[in-house]
Amino acid sequence: MVLDRLDSATTPQDLDLPGLQFHRLAGSSQGRFAVSINANWRITFAFDGEDAVGVDMEDYH
C-alpha cells in the first residue's frame, strides 16, 4: 500500500496519511522523508520534481 501511494504521489506531503507517521529527516539525511511500515522499519525517500527518488527500506534501530 505504501509503495502504491508513493508511486502516485506528486509531493512528499501526499504521504502524510493517518498511521504512516510521515516525517522529514534531519542531519545527513536532510531533504529526505520517511513513513513507518512496521516496528522499526521505515520507507525513506526524496522527491525530484513530482517523482519519488532514492526510495529505500531501512531499519531505524
- What confidence tens digit (pLDDT) does each residue in 16-56 have? 999 999 999 999 999 999 999 998 999 999 999 999 999 99
Residue 55 inside a domain? The answer is no
- How many other CB atoms sit within 10 Å of the CB of residue 6? 19
Contacts 24+ apart (CB under 8 A), 25-33: none
Number of structural domains found in the chain: 1
Q: What is the pLDDT of residue 61?
A: 75
Host H or E run for residue 7: helix 2-8
Residue 39 inside a domain? The answer is yes
Q: What is the pLDDT of residue 16?
A: 97
pLDDT score of 60 more than 90: no
Residue 57 inside a domain? The answer is no
Q: Which CATH number characterizes residue 43's domain?
A: 3.30.2310.20
- 46: domain range? 2-50
Q: What is the pLDDT of residue 43?
A: 97
- How many other CB atoms sit within 10 Å of the CB of residue 10? 11
**Strand pairing partners for 45?**
33
**pTM higher than the cut 0.85:** yes
Q: Which three cell numbers stand for residue 11?
A: 509531493
